[in-house]
Structure 1
Amino acid sequence: MRLHVRGWGSGARTALLVHGMMSDHRSWRRVGPWLARRGYRVLAVDLRGHGRSPRGPGTAPAERYLPELFAGDLVDTLPTGADLALGHSLGGLALSLAVDRLRPRRAVYSDPAWCIPGPGRGLDPAGFAWFRTAAREQIAALNPRWEQTDVDIELATLALWDPDTGGGLAGVAGRALLPERPAVPSLVQLADPSFMIGPEHAAELARRGFEVRTVAGAGHTIHRDDLPGFLSSLDGWV
């Protein structure tokens, strides 16, 4: 499936940005221009079921929104051999399943959804649908460090989001989906604390050859919660 793509810049280097669940390319509103100023041509997708990209075809969520389908869409849409590929949350999971085909020079996984908590652990992907009707006050309360513009964008992206994406991921909730090895030089950037990657899994990723950095005090959407911390943690990778 071909995805909607938003671009910034026209530099000689290429950066790919992949957002998380319930969001779209607008999540990168400050990161995209920042990379463009550093000489990148930046390409940010809307995943299937998000933003201006198509919904997943089929009937049941599990047919429409499997992790492998998100990954396949990236391969169908994005160029191979980019200088940098960066995926957040669901975007990090999708990127990790596509990275051996996209073959960027470097990959950054920002609090990737490699260990999605299941029911009874504080998060149920199939229950994400309530976010579709969340009020501004609820979004702001859940994300107290976000700028008002990001709250506005979240409300706009939720209106376009297909909540069946959560149901499609329910089958992998509670399972560890850690990559066996980095297909390319890779940084794993973690929130503090991360509800996706706990300390044991972080240590295991380091043993498998990933560089692991934590952004102190940042929430799950690190680039919206603490942009300076997010950018600082990319030192040496962009």
Structure 2
Amino acid sequence: MLLHAVDTSPSRSGDLGHGLPVVVLLHGMMGSSESWWRVVPLLTARGHRVLAIDLPGHGLSPRDPSLTIEQAAASVVETIAHLAPGEAIIAIGHSYGATVLAEAAQTVNPHLAVYVDAGLALRGGGDRHTLVTQYERDRQTRMSADTLRAMRPFYSEKDAQVEARAASQFDPETMASISCGDGHTWIPEPGSILVHAQPSAWVSPDDLRRFARVGVQVRGIPGAAHSVWFSHFAEFTASLPELFGPTPGTSTSPRR
């Protein structure tokens, strides 16, 4: 199924952006394409076209109470192929979105894949009723911008408004379906980048060793929250000079 995406155009100033990959952004659970509101302008200013995608059951994308991780990834692949056929792709995925990216990358073959605070493992085997109840309770809590700011003091007023809106659009049934299926662990391609909170509740020392063994570049940000760019925006962008460095168009090379 095709997913909703915020689709930007590259800068028109000079030749900036000519030949640069399209950057695909995949949010985490209970987020949305709006979660990247701080990141998108930096990428477009450097000439990139950006596709910030709402994953199934999030934002303005369709719901699917029988969704699997493979189907979520296939929907991302289909959406990219529909909106940016034949384009070189850089992809950034956060948490759940990073797991979807790890599955989709096998087909998309991105120029560069960046995984943000994700161990790239899905436990599976969850109880649907328990998960739906838990996700609905979390959704109700996060629908209040004031509550979010109290829970996460590093949020700006706009951060809280954006994430509260994302929670109101979130479908617990779709997300629960993902966690009720089979478990799986993904190994990123060599040359991929993992940016993680340090310490992280989502990326274990074993994960870090597993990624390093296969040639993943591991970059920690001390004291960062799980949504790294919300709490440590400057440090997050500094950790990715390939995308946010001073010289547009000279940062990335194909991984395969």
| TM-score, normalised with respect to structure 2 | 0.80
Letter in 1 for 2:63: R
Q: What's 1:39 paired with?
A: 47
1:132 to 94, 115, 139: 139
Letter in 1 for 2:216: F
Structure 1 position 33, deviation (Å):
0.9
Letter in 1 for 2:154: R
CA RMSD in angstroms comes to 2.3
Q: State the percentage of identical aligned residues.
A: 32
Letter in 1 for 2:179: A
Native 8 Å contact 2:3 2:79 kept in 1: yes
| TM-score, normalised with respect to structure 1 | 0.86
Letter in 2 for 1:74: V
1:21-59, Cα deviation, whole Å (9 max, x unpaired): 111110010111100111101111111111111111xxx
Report the more deviating stretch, 107-116 or 21-30. Answer: 107-116
2:171 to 150, 162, 165: 162
Letter in 2 for 1:159: S
Q: Mind listing any 5+ residue stretches in structure 2 that lack a counterpart?
A: 11-16, 245-256
Letter in 2 for 1:25: S
Structure 1 position 83, deviation (Å):
3.9
Alignment of 1:211-222 (within 5 A): 211-222=217-228
Native 8 Å contact 1:48 1:70 kept in 2: yes
1:158-206, Cα deviation, whole Å (9 max, x unpaired): 1111012331232369x56231x40x63101111222221111111110
Native 8 Å contact 1:81 1:105 kept in 2: no
Describe the SS at the equivalent of 2:207.
helix
Structure 2: distance between partners of 1:21 and 1:146: 17
Q: Mind listing any 5+ residue stretches in structure 1 that lack a counterpart?
A: none
Describe the SS at the equivalent of 1:215.
strand
Q: Given the alignment of the two structures, is residue 196 of structure 1 paired with residue 198 of structure 2, yes or no?
A: no
Find runs of 4+ consecutive structure 1 residues off by over 4 angstroms. 116-119
Describe the SS at the equivalent of 2:24.
strand
Structure 1 position 234, deviation (Å):
0.6
1:71 to 51, 70, 73: 73
1:95-114, Cα deviation, whole Å (9 max, x unpaired): 11011211111110111252
Q: Given the alignment of the two structures, is residue 151 of structure 1 paired with residue 160 of structure 2, yes or no?
A: yes
Structure 1: distance between partners of 2:162 and 2:103: 28
Alignment of 1:1-238 (within 5 A): 1-10=1-10, 11-12=17-18, 13=20, 14-56=22-64, 61=65, 63=66, 65-78=67-80, 79=84, 81-112=87-118, 114-115=120-121, 126=132, 127-134=134-141, 135-171=144-180, 177-179=185-187, 181-182=188-189, 185-237=191-243
Describe the SS at the equivalent of 2:118.
coil
Native 8 Å contact 1:82 1:105 kept in 2: yes
Letter in 2 for 1:107: A
Letter in 2 for 1:110: V
Letter in 2 for 1:155: A
Letter in 2 for 1:5: A
Structure 1: distance between partners of 2:229 and 2:138: 20
Native 8 Å contact 1:18 1:95 kept in 2: yes
Letter in 2 for 1:140: R
Native 8 Å contact 1:87 1:95 kept in 2: yes
Structure 2: distance between partners of 1:69 and 1:194: 28
Instruction: Tell which structure's C-alpha radius of gyration is larger.
Output: 2
